[in-house]
Amino acid sequence: MKNNLIVIGGPTGNTVTQELNEYLPIYFDEKVGWSLFSKASGKRYQDDLAGVIIKMDNPFDKEKKILLLAGSRTRGTMAAVMALTKHAEEIFKANNDIISLVVHGLDSDGDGLPDDAKIVE
């Protein structure tokens, strides 16, 4: 836990995400079905296609960083990965040490899986 980490998956499927959850600027609220809650905006995201992209200092070693791609459900995690792969330039353009984004998957072909994603916060 005291290293640079790339973490993929929400707290129900990834124990590292579960350990980091209390430190996240957009955290997973177990009491409300693992919905996403943004500390900055006070908004809650309960859609299965909602995900997060977070880059932050590692709370266990401030010299290290964490990149988290996750959703409450698998489709939300897929949306976060999709957003990062398709929109990396936009996401990392400011070269900030901290990134805290909510993304929403877009299903253009109706198969229930995200084909693209947009940044909503």
Element housing 86 (H / E): helix 74-92
Give the pLDDT mean for 10-38: 96
Instruction: State the pTM of this model.
Output: 0.92
Pairing of strands 61-71, 99-106: unpaired
Contacts of 103 (CB under 8 A, 6+ apart): 50, 51, 52, 53, 79, 80, 83, 117, 118, 119, 120
Q: What pLDDT shows up at residue 107? A: 87
Mean pLDDT of the chain: 93
Q: Which has the minimum average pLDDT: 13-17, 82-86, 112-116?
A: 112-116
Average pLDDT over residues 6-27: 96
**pLDDT tens track for 54-113:** 999 999 999 999 999 999 999 999 999 999 999 888 888 877 778 999 999 998 888 888
